[in-house]
Amino acid sequence: MHFSSVIVSPILLLQFCIRTLCNLWSSVFLNVRRPSDDSTILPDGKAEQTATVPTSVNYHFTRKCNYKCGFCFHTAKTSFVLPLEEAKRGLELLKDAGMEKINFSGGEPFLHEKGDFLGKLVQFCKQDLQLPSVSIVSNGSMIQERWFQKYGDYLDILAISCDSFNEDTNQLIGRAQGKKSHIENLYKIRGWCARYKVAFKINTVVNTFNVDEDMQENINKLDPVRWKVFQCLLIDGENAGEEALREAERFVIRDLQFQDFLERHSSVTCLVPESNEKMRNSYLILDEYMRFLDCREGRKDPSKSILDVGVREAILFSGFDEKMFLRRGGKYVWSKADMKLEW
């Protein structure tokens, strides 16, 4: 080897050292996520938002409902429902962005096309998109056994809302259609969930009408995999304020009353409490146009639709608090295959 190729000029050596130092600096200081937010520091000093992954999404595809719960925070402000193929396209975009769990909600999700629209989406999400978890939250009043026969295989979890085991209280809340028994129906659906191997869950909103109730006996009998207990929440433009379709102020309870309710039911091991603080920003909510709804200001501010701008851009306006999502136990065993249930 010729000596001149090994000896490097002092200028080249200096350039090499500067470049190495620069590389070292950028690998240490760039791409470091700030602990306080989800941003990355760019070379020009500006912050770039790191994309939130929509791991678990709640798609309220309809706002229409056959019940009149006085505290409802997702009201019938429109009657719009996306065409099936557009809804599927949106779900595929979410899957490509990292969605693992979809929850269909409303309004009442079993109302549109007598549950067939919902069934087709459930089947699509499990069979075509292969999502680990597909769930529904419903008031239960429109569900029929033939729905389970057709679509039960594709559904992991069915949550039925029940705020009281006293029919009069349900009537007072508005959690009823005519004189039909919400509670009898709840027990019937519990049986179908067992027969068709769907994990059964209960949601309860604690409010002024049920705050003193003791639900232990019924909950133990129904034996859900999870009992979500929410503190009644106010959302401006939905159940509070001038433009709202509901006035839920008279349903609101204090934090201490909520704590009392939780203590009374502390023996129920499947109980998962959700105070107002935990609930407000810890859900990724999509409305009927597939727009994320940002609840940080106490109302539901919509983003652009994921169908128009994609998930990555729309999700920047979702107001989603991922830390709170994890803190409230948002990520749990959510595939029925992993639940080791005795059907």
Ligand X SMILES: C[S@@+](CC[C@H](N)C(=O)[O-])C[C@H]1O[C@@H](n2cnc3c(N)ncnc32)[C@H](O)[C@@H]1O
Say which residue the tokens 């309004």 belong to.
Answer: 107
DSSP 120-136: HHHHIIIIIS--SEEEE
Question: Is the Cβ–Cβ distance between 80 and 289 less than 8 Å?
Answer: yes
Count the site residues for ligand X by CB under 6 A: 19
Closest C-alpha to 230, from 172, 272, 183, 182: 272
Look at residue 233 and give the partner it binds from ligand X, ligand SF4, none, a contact being a CB closer than 5 to 8 Å depending on partner kind. Answer: ligand X
Phi-psi map region of 319: left, alpha, beta (phi>0 left; psi -120 to 50 alpha)? left
Among 52, 55, 62, 139, binds ligand X (CB under 6 A): 139
Among 57, 118, 205, 229, binds ligand X (CB under 6 A): 205
Does 239 participate in binding ligand X (rule CB under 6 A)?
Answer: yes
Question: Is the Cβ–Cβ distance between 111 and 140 less than 8 Å?
Answer: no
DSSP letter for 225, please.
S
Site string for ligand X, 240-259 (x = CB under 6 A): --------x-----------
Site string for ligand SF4, 106-135 (x = CB under 6 A): xxx---------------------------
Q: Is 5 helix (H, G, I), strand (E, B) or coil?
A: helix
Clarify whether 69 is annotated catalytic: yes
Among 91, 137, 199, 284, binds ligand X (CB under 6 A): 137
Site for ligand SF4, residues 134 to 153, rule: CB under 6 A: 139
Closest C-alpha to 52, from 272, 333, 326: 326
Listed ranges 69-77, 148-156, 187-195, 300-308: which one lies at the site for ligand X (CB under 6 A): 69-77
φ, ψ for residue 173 (rounded to 5)? -70, -35
159 vs 215, which CB is nearer to ligand SF4? 159
Clarify whether 65 is annotated catalytic: yes
108 vs 156, which CB is nearer to ligand SF4? 108
Does 138 participate in binding ligand X (rule CB under 6 A)?
Answer: yes
Site for ligand SF4, residues 45 to 74, rule: CB under 6 A: 65, 67-69, 72, 74
Beta-carbon contacts of 160 under 8 Å, excluding residues fewer than 6 positions away, are: 137, 138, 139, 140, 186, 189, 200, 201, 202, 203
Least Å distance between CB 35 and ligand X? 31
Q: Residues of 116-125 as b/e, b for ≥16 C-beta within 10 angstroms?
A: ebbbbbbbbb
Beta-carbon contacts of 242 under 8 Å, excluding residues fewer than 6 positions away, are: none
Binding site for ligand SF4 (CB under 6 A): 65, 67-69, 72, 74, 106-108, 139
Binding site for ligand X (CB under 6 A): 65, 71-74, 105-106, 108, 137-139, 161, 203, 205, 230, 232-233, 239, 248
Residues designated catalytic: 65, 69, 72
